[in-house]
Chain A
Amino acid sequence: MPGKLKAKIVAGRHLPVMDRASDLTDAFVEVKFGNTTFKTDVYPKSLNPQWNSEWFKFEVDDEDLQDEPLQITVLDHDTYSANDAIGKVYIDIDPLLSSEAATVISGWFPIYDTIHGIRGEINVLVKVDLFNDLNRFRQSSCGVKFFCTTSIPRCYRAVMVHGFVEELVVNEDPEYQWIDRIRTPRASNEARQRLISLMSGELQRKIGLKVLEMGGNAVVGYLQCFDLEGESGLVVRAIGTACTLDKISNTYAPASAINPCNSSPSKDTKDSPQAVPSALGCRSTHSSPVHSASSRLSQGFSVSVPTLLFAGMKHRHRSSEGPRARQCRAGFGEEAPGVPLSSGPPTPLRAQTFSSFSPSKSYSRQSSSSDTELSLTPKTGMGSGGSAGKEAGPLKALLRQQTQSALEQREFPFFTLTSFPAGFLLHVGGVVSARSVKLLDRIHNPALGNTRSYKLLDWNSFTADEPETRDAWWEEIRQEIKSHAKALGCHAVVGYSESTSICEEVCILSASGTAAVLSSRFMQDGALDMDHRLSRQQAPVFTSGTEKGEGDMGSSASLGFEDLAPPGCGFCHIPYDELNMPFPAQLTYCHCCRRFKVPDVLFTTIDLPTEANVTGKGCLIQARLCRTKKKAQGEGNATAISNLLPFLEYELHTQLMNKLKLRSMNALFGLRIQISIGENMLLGLASATGVYLTPLPSPGGIQIAGKTPSDITYEQHISNMQKKINDTIAKNKELYEVNPPKLFTLDPEAFRCINTELVEEVIGSPIPEPRQRSRLFRSHSESSDEVSELDLSHGKKDAFVLEIDDTDAVEDIHSLLTDAPTPPGFYSCNTEIMPGIYNWTSALQMFTSVRVFRLSNVNLTNQGLNKVFNDLCENLLKSLYFKLRSMVPCCLCHLNFTVAVPEDELIQVAVTAVAMSFDKEQTLENGRQSCDKTLMKAITENEEQLQFPLELTAESSSNPLSSAKGLSEVSGALPSARAPSVDYSSFTDRCSSWIEQLRLKAHTIRRGSIKTMSSLEKASPLPEGRSRSLRSNRSYAGGSVAVVKMTPLSFIPGTKIIKYLGIINMFFIRETTSLREEGGVSGFLHSFIAEVFAMVRAHVAALGGNAVVSYSMKECVFMENPNKNQAQCLINVSGDAVIFVRESELEATPPQPQSASTQTSSSGEGT
């Protein structure tokens, strides 16, 4: 029994009137944890009760502490009838379990009722006392920190990145239990909320265990999702990246801590020749897998793309056919592997696997289709053990260490991170994605059968079986992804994510990521006692053959790359070898270093690396597609969907490529393709941020070719279109400041580049017309290069030909030209940072916008649907720009679109993003760099400054008790000052005395610490800085409600995150039976979203935080029944609660007045 949970109910306010007669309420509170319940006294006849209860103490296991939420129910006492519930508060106490996160939860929480929404607020204090020594505590998974942030959190240093962790738990959905027919909607909703809360707790604990087994202490990029599978149950699954994180401390120089690879000069002496041969070596050992992969690839094409190509070829001119065909492949080049899976083995085969359901079958299919996984086949046998097997996996793996390579042991070399410590990401291959269509309904028939409906909430009885199937599904997809990555010559997948779309009993599972080559450094360094792991992790690239030799070679190759390649372009260099390319693509020499090959286009799912060389600004690029589908049931439906998928994906990619060209850009970051299924349509939405990567070649323009060139009017039409397109390209170039980069990259190292090429680039890129000439120039200029065949194909590149003889192309062009440009002063992207904008102000506006569109005439054509969908997205964007016009100049960052088909004729689009304004005067490159540098430096410095005093408590250091005790007092004083401060006029007094107290502590800390570390001289301003920020928050709004900022990004410009307080992961259900009275569907959803925000803010504030970073709304399921005047909505949100401090405040903290200490000593005792 390692923990004692203590809760105290202080007061309530703004309670609803429960007694009509008196217009008052007799409220009392039930506090429940696990199976223990306490009650407060009834506080009669008040809407602002002051319970001031005793401390309710729960003695509980740490397992329960992790799984269970603290449940607080506010009720109205009724003498004659049953007590009426006012509402509930669920408090996740996980943040209190980590020594580095929050120490106390204290504050006003909205009292939430699933039918009435927020009904007043309640002030609660929660603490956890852990009895056991730290060591024992660490054995459980409680200590593991979770971060939604998909990069290394700002005040931490990655000692080691262990890799992928995943888990899923399954249960029956209470909504579909028989009891639901007799219980109230409220009871049903609450059962669901509670169950999901329990399941996410359990999931987190299980993942934590895996992390501990791997030797890590944190999960970064934690992504948890719900699959509401209806009748067949509820799946909660999560993926993340296990890491060992270190609080950044003073002893590390920031450069060496963050930039370890680039800064080691000794390695720089290695030169390219060494690296290249080794790369060649690896190619030879690798050849057979790549071959098989590519053959598989073509197999995939034979189902999807080629059908299109073949059909098209009959009408096409020869001249245009080549580029077109090539281009679509290049389009897939980045994505090539995604196609085979989704299109997959021809549908009949797949349909069989649905029904028969034996995992072995699907595996056998897979292994036969992808020979790349030779070494993995034994693994799959074990993998079928499902979650249970996998949980044991790492242990078993330990036994087989000697015989298995590192990444095999690791099973999936996946990373959910999207940005990386400098030097970690070496090369990016391209996007890999996999989709699979599954039928849900037959899952539990074999195991559960009839007993199912009677075993309520007893999931232990069937989790052992149920997750197995789900695990197997995901395992299958992950294997596919892994093999795709291998085909691209990459040993890892970064920016990895998984998603599902469910409609009735059909479910699409999708996974995507970016194939990449990573530096082994973060996977081996700092591992204290893991020599075996070390050797293993060096050889992640290759799966079979002479492991040792390859391992060495792999690491040396990667080292070679990393040293030679300048940080700005290194990641663009191809990881696969050019003679054995997994797909046809054109390679050129990198325009920055001119030594390595780069592809002509690069698609990725990650964020733009900070060090990347980018020309101009980026912009949001979206491909939108809507396809009708016949209504069908069961397998037929699944077959129809899997038949449609490849076309959908192909078209999405074509659109993306066209739009990219239209903007004169050559790379996509943060690519996210979402496919949603509805009863009678499929929606595809691909969003990404386009940029012009300087190392990559300048993209060619778009040329339109007609079928019948003889026809004059037709020709005219075409030339008009061509002109329009050229104009748009020119306009976009100006807008995004994409100028031909040649002009300045050339002059210093005019090396290997002949003047003619320059001419070609400049002229050729905007207008694709002078193809002949350019080729001429090219062949001339590149005669100096060894590999001429590649460059010949390159000559075709600037003519990206769109044919308009088929309707597809007309549509393409139409959608190309209908994308309205962003209004002046606005930029948009779906990544964390916008290239080209660096001087952000602190103005920040996070928002969620939801639209549902009803298609009234059912018989729409594909084109019609497309237009509707396209307009819906475009209008939504326009509305956002209009709404946020007061923030101009500003950038909408992390624009995250989610589409769904909630009902037959409804399309739902939800967007969450943050608008950040910036200063117009752009200080260019140097400004940015210095800014970054200071930021980096400041972060580390501040971290250390704050970190030190805070950690003192835990360490019980050698310092006199004054500091340690003082701090604990501070933390004690913090809640007590906060709780009453909210609405009493004496607040300012209390607050200031509290601040004085903090200052005093800061002083004692400083005095104490000087002995140990002289470098901490500066440590004192920090705690004060924090207190100041807190104070300013509290005094905001007349000393009432603390401001909590929310952002989907991992940072807040102009500030430093000084502490992570824990993960926020909340699930809410709201239902109404009086839809009209609540303002219709819009009114209902509007208030619900506002309520969700309010509850997130309240929880963060109660943890002592002032912001949520990496916020996301992962689920927003909206259902309505206007005829019955009813609606229901489920929302799941997550993020990281943090404390931030303004940079300006940090710098401007004056030395503290010594006089404060005299006053505070007394006030300190007072509390």
Chain B
Amino acid sequence: MSVELDVFVGNTTIMDKEVYQLWLNGYTVNDAVKVRIEGGVMEECEASAEVLLSDTMDQFRTFQMCERLLQNPAKLANQLLFQIPPDRQAMLIERYYAFDDAFVREVLGKKLSKGTKKDLDDVSAKTGITLKSCRRQFDNFKRVFKVVEELKGPLVENIKQHFLLPDQLARDYAAIVFFANNRFETGKKKLQYLTFQDFAFCAGQLINYWTVGAVDNMVEDMDVDLDKEFLQDLKDLKILITDKDLLDQHKSLVCVALRGKTKVFNEMEANFKNLSRGLVNIAAKLTNTKDVRDFFIDLVEKFIEPCKSDKWTSTDVNLYLTHYTNSAHILDTFKHQTVWTRYMGVIKSCILRMYHE
């Protein structure tokens, strides 16, 4: 004896946020029921496990039917099949496109290809996120990537418009798209301590200041590709380390400014040339795609790690970078002020964000 068919259809589609989350998390119906029972819904509402199972199945089915629409959120608003209040629609979309930080750290900067998708079971095993959920998140990334790839205009705005995502989530997706496009290396052991939000912040900086879009806002891929001309110009910064006078001059200016203001003055003074060389070399190498990929690892190796070993605080780093940037402007023989500002502005905020104490 069994229930052969069991459906519930409301004129306004009923969706329980909690069940939705379980579905998004890739639970099977039975697992979801278990979680719900543990959550204590039954006592709350005098329901039996049977009722809970029926409800869960029904809602999972509803979500499944909605999924097609969620993949194209603009359709959700003007489809006729489900009558869903706008606030609910927004919730559905937002949650559908939400992702786990643990997951995104695994695929951030990887090519969103079939190959990567095949490796998702490893990711799933590693992160403890169900494969189903991994797939959904991966497909979301890929879908957003594909759509915005061919669009003109600002990346974040495009994502917002096409996927009706809230601002923060749209920015995160912009970061993901940006990372995927430039294939930044984020998976190295040295970078493991960084969270997705750290990277997303850096991506935001890079998008805002280093891409084509920072100059011209009506080009295809404007926010996805770095400004080639700018990268070319960065080579000119090499003079700061190749010219011995300039380097010494720079160092003394920074030292004067910092003397007495920091506890790590001595270490700073001793390390100045190394650090400066590190940063300028990163700039000079960015014309190579390979080196662009290593941008973050370079920042860590060339700057963050040395500072860490000398026990700099973030205030020290901030102080140093501020004066390091500003002092270069005083150097009379240094002609590349705009490029320097554009470069150091981003470097500074990225390093500060990546500098965890």
Contacts and interface: CB of A to CB of B under 8 A. Distances in A.
A853 B1 CA distance: 7
Given A1037-B77, A1045-B11, A1082-B7, A1093 B61 contact: no
Contacts of A1130: none
Interface in B1-28: 1-14, 16
Nearest to A908: B5
B47 interface: yes
Contacts of A885: 44-45
Nearest to B44: A885
Contacts of A1082: 5-7, 57-58, 61
Contact of B47 (A849, A882, A1043, A1097): A882
Contacts of A848: 8-9
B163 to A, nearest CB: 14
Nearest to A820: B46
Interface stretch (A317-325, A854-862, A916-924): A854-862
Interface of B is mostly: mixed
A856 B3 CA distance: 10
A252 B14 CA distance: 43
Interface residues of A, number: 59
B119 interface: no
B272 to A, nearest CB: 56
B11 A879 contact: no
Contacts of B38: none
A110 interface: yes
Interface stretch (A597-605, A997-1005, A1084-1092): A1084-1092
Contact of B3 (A823, A851, A882, A983): A851
Given A878-B51, A1090-B65, A847 B9 contact: yes
Given A882-B52, A983-B78, A1097-B83, A823 B45 contact: yes
B3 to A, nearest CB: 6
Contact of A118 (B5, B78, B80): B80
A1079 B64 contact: yes
B4 A118 contact: no
A1046 B11 contact: yes
A908 B7 CA distance: 12
B332 interface: no
Contact of A1094 (B62, B64, B80): B80
A823 B80 contact: no
A1086 B11 contact: no
B75 interface: yes
Contact of A868 (B1, B8, B9, B51): B1
A906 interface: yes
A845 B83 CA distance: 11
Contact of A849 (B1, B8, B50): B8
B86 A1037 contact: yes
A855 B89 CA distance: 40
B45 A1089 contact: no
A885 B47 CA distance: 10
A746 B9 CA distance: 48
Contacts of A285: none
B77 A1041 contact: yes
B5 A852 contact: yes
A319 B62 CA distance: 59
B45 A1093 contact: no
Given A879-B51, A882-B51, A14 B83 contact: no
A1131 to B, nearest CB: 11
Given A847-B8, A1093-B9, A1038 B1 contact: no
Interface in A856-912: 856-857, 868, 875, 878-886, 906, 908
Interface string B52-63: 101101100110
Contacts of B11: 845-847, 1044-1046, 1093, 1097
A500 B213 CA distance: 71
Nearest to A108: B80
A982 interface: yes
A1040 B51 contact: no
B1 A856 contact: yes
Contacts of B3: 851-854
A76 interface: no
Most chain B C-beta atoms within 10 Å of own C-beta, residue among A14, A110, A886: A14
Nearest to A1091: B81
Contacts of A882: 45, 47, 51-52, 55
A1095 to B, nearest CB: 8
Contact of A110 (B1, B16, B65, B80): B80
A875 B9 contact: no
Interface in A994-1049: 1036-1038, 1040-1041, 1043-1046
B192 interface: no
B202 to A, nearest CB: 33
A906 B4 contact: yes
Contacts of A1093: 9, 11, 83
Contact of A845 (B6, B14, B75, B77): B14
B64 A1085 contact: no
A493 interface: no
A541 interface: no
Interface in B232-249: none
Most chain B C-beta atoms within 10 Å of own C-beta, residue among A13, A852, A1046, A1093: A1093
A716 to B, nearest CB: 30
Contact of B7 (A13, A121, A1046, A1086): A1086
A156 interface: no
B9 A14 contact: no
Interface string A403-429: 000000000000000000000000000
A850 interface: yes
Contact of B2 (A856, A1038, A1045): A856
A281 interface: no
B89 A1037 contact: yes
B10 A847 contact: yes
Most chain A C-beta atoms within 10 Å of own C-beta, residue among B7, B12, B79, B86: B7
A1098 interface: yes
B61 A1043 contact: no
A847 B83 CA distance: 12
Given A121-B80, A1036-B86, A1085 B46 contact: no
B197 interface: no
Nearest to B48: A878
Nearest to A910: B7
B79 A1041 contact: yes
A1041 B83 CA distance: 9
Contacts of B265: none
B82 interface: yes
A1086 B9 CA distance: 7
Most chain A C-beta atoms within 10 Å of own C-beta, residue among B3, B11, B54: B11
Nearest to A1081: B5
Contacts of B83: 1041, 1043-1044, 1093-1094, 1097
Contact of A1040 (B9, B13, B54, B77): B77
Contacts of B48: 878
Nearest to A846: B11
Given A845-B14, A1083-B61, 15 more contacts: A110-B81, A848-B9, A854-B3, A879-B8, A882-B52, A885-B45, A1037-B77, A1038-B77, A1041-B77, A1082-B5, A1086-B7, A1086-B58, A1086-B65, A1093-B11, A1094-B83
23 contacts: A14-B79, A108-B80, A847-B8, A853-B4, A855-B1, A868-B1, A879-B54, A883-B55, A885-B44, A906-B4, A908-B5, A1036-B85, A1043-B83, A1046-B11, A1082-B57, A1082-B61, A1086-B9, A1086-B62, A1087-B65, A1090-B81, A1093-B83, A1094-B80, A1094-B83
Q: Considering the complex of A and B, which 8 residue pairs feature the smallest CB-CB distances, nearest first?
A: A1040-B78, A852-B5, A847-B10, A846-B11, A1089-B9, A1086-B7, A1046-B11, A849-B8
Interface of A: 13-14, 108, 110, 118, 121, 823, 845-857, 868, 875, 878-886, 906, 908, 982-983, 1036-1038, 1040-1041, 1043-1046, 1079, 1081-1083, 1085-1087, 1089-1091, 1093-1094, 1097-1098, 1118
